[in-house]
Amino acid sequence: MHVKVCKFGGSSLADGNNIRRAAEILRADETRRYVVVSAPGKRFSGDVKITDQLYECYREAAETGSCVNAFAPVRRRFLSIVEELGLEHFDIASILDECERQIIANKSADFTASRGEYLNARLIAALLGWDFVDAQEIIYFNERGMFDEARSYRLIERRLKHCKNAVIPGFYGMDAWGCVKTFTRGGSDISGSIIARGVNAELYENWTDVSGFLACDPRIVNNPQKIGVISFKELRELSYMGANVLHADAIYPVRKGDIPIRIKNTFRPMDEGTLILPSKKYVKHGNRVTGIAGKKDFTVIFLEKQLMNAEIGFARKVLSVLEKDGINFEHMPSGIDTLSLVIESKYLAGGVLDTLIGQIKEAVNPDYVRVLEDIALVATVGHGMTASVGTSARLFTALSQAGVNVRMIDQGSSEINIIVGIDNADYEKCVRAIYFEFFSNATEADE
């Protein structure tokens, strides 16, 4: 029988009514055999996510040796959900008591934060009558804190083949020393992808509160086109640049297993959503551009040195400075005598920028250094760009006509992505100009 793995996000499981809706979705298709769940999210504007409240529990426990005050809202929330669902037979009170004791005993931020997913998985398993499988039994990290693929996939396959249906908490696993370790925030997407790969699923369904990906941010362009089908490569580029329907790192496990992903809306389950396909199975149809995404607040450090191209190790020396300081760079456009570092500004605050420039000057002795601050990056992504003459010309003409000054250009070797650096103040104008050029003015040349 075909197997689908589902993941439901926090907004989809925020209260009893939403959880009941998710249960109906799971029961409607017998191939939906395994589900990965997040902690309950916000029920309304101003509400607090369970995970955020649990971090407060950790802080209180670390400072006072107790978390009774911070844990009280968590307790009330889960008691309320169980009551809404009519699970009188499910002894959530005892499970909550044990969680509170363990939070105090462990004094671990990762363990404490993971309890939202753990508790939600326990009660959803009780509602469905499915097996509960704790993530710390099947998802492992190695000594370096990296996901242990070989061990985890072996354990997932071995454990779940005996379960007709199972509920697994997302967001965490077990480290090499037997302690609970979490992924980064939003990591339940990663957990779902890992489970899908471990059972060799036919499809990984990621259920959230939107009906798939849009061609750009709807806060910038009113009612942008929906993306029906997208490749893993395109999704990776868009997710990395801020299209945050799906955690960017969640793509990797299913991509290696050639497992498609479908983004679905828990509140509109009949909507088709967005299908994400392995690139080798993906055939581009329609518009040459698939989507536009971007982020603000970058700093560009521009270096110039005569005969840079003849100086062996120049880039390595520059990157060694970043590595020593623990600073990530986003992009590194270069010319024959120039090299630019694009870095998120938040990593350079508090005098770090001046210190970094001094270290770079000492390391490579550039002829000239210039810093551009308050820069936004906008990525235009699409497989159709590679075989279409004039894409760059159209893009830059549209920006020129909109009065957007391009400060930097970077095109990846995959040729499915053109990134422009512009002033923060021009960000929304830039996105709108690109969108209306490629989506409102689409011609038969794009077909």
* Alpha carbon distance 431, 415 (integer Å): 19
At residue 413, the pLDDT reads: 59
- Do 190 and 251 meet the contact criterion of CB atoms below 8 Å apart? no
What does DSSP assign to residue 2?
-
| Percentage, residues of the chain above pLDDT 90 | 80
What's the Cα-to-Cα distance from 85 to each of 15, 21, 88, 396, rounded to whole Å?
A: 9, 11, 9, 55
Q: Report the pLDDT averaged over residues 91-109.
A: 96
Q: Does residue 444 register a pLDDT over 70?
A: no
Sheet containing 229-231, strands listed edge to edge, beginning at the edge strand earlier in sequence: 131-132, 166-169, 32-37, 4-8, 203-208, 261-265, 274-277, 229-231
Q: Does residue 387 register a pLDDT over 70?
A: no
Residue ranges in 350-389 assigned as alpha helix (H): 352-364
Q: If DSSP codes are grouped into helix, strand and coil, which group holds residue 43? A: coil
Q: Report the pLDDT averaged over residues 381-410.
A: 88
What does DSSP assign to residue 437?
I
Please report how the helices 427-435 and 391-401 are oriented relative to each other, as an axis angle in degrees rounded to 10. 130
Q: Does residue 246 register a pLDDT over 80?
A: no
Q: Which two tokens stand for residue 359?
A: 């270290």
Q: Does residue 334 register a pLDDT over 90?
A: no
At residue 81, the pLDDT reads: 97
Q: How high is the mean pLDDT of the chain?
A: 92
* Alpha carbon distance 36, 134 (integer Å): 10
Q: Report the pLDDT averaged over residues 86-111.
A: 96
Q: Which of 97-101, 279-283, 350-354 has the lowest mean pLDDT?
A: 279-283
Q: Does residue 245 register a pLDDT over 80?
A: no
The most confident of the ranges 128-132, 242-246, 415-419 is: 128-132
Candidates 165, 162, 179, 41; CA nearest to 106 is: 179
Q: Report the pLDDT averaged over residues 96-124.
A: 97
Q: Report the pLDDT averaged over residues 316-340.
A: 92
* Alpha carbon distance 358, 236 (integer Å): 34
Q: Report the pLDDT averaged over residues 298-325.
A: 93
Helix (H), strand (E) at residue 16? helix 16-27
- Domains of the chain with CATH codes: 4-209 (3.40.1160.10), 291-446 (3.30.2130.10)
Helix, strand, coil shares, percent, the chain, to 5? 45, 20, 35
Phi and psi for 340 in degrees, rounded to 5? -120, 140
Q: Report the pLDDT averaged over residues 315-321.
A: 95
At residue 441, the pLDDT reads: 56
Residue 284 pLDDT level (bands cut at 50, 70, 90) = low
Q: Report the pLDDT averaged over residues 141-168.
A: 96
Each residue of 155-213: pLDDT tens digit?
Answer: 999 999 989 999 999 999 999 999 999 998 778 999 999 999 999 999 999 999 989 89
The pTM of this model reads 0.84
**Which residues in 305-405 belong to E strands, given as ranges?**
338-344, 368-381
Q: Does residue 447 register a pLDDT over 50?
A: no
Q: If DSSP codes are grouped into helix, strand and coil, which group holds residue 366? A: coil
Q: Does residue 247 register a pLDDT over 80?
A: no
Candidates 187, 232, 227, 196; CA nearest to 211 is: 227
At residue 400, the pLDDT reads: 96
At residue 391, the pLDDT reads: 87
At residue 445, the pLDDT reads: 38
Each residue of 75-86: pLDDT tens digit?
Answer: 999 999 999 999
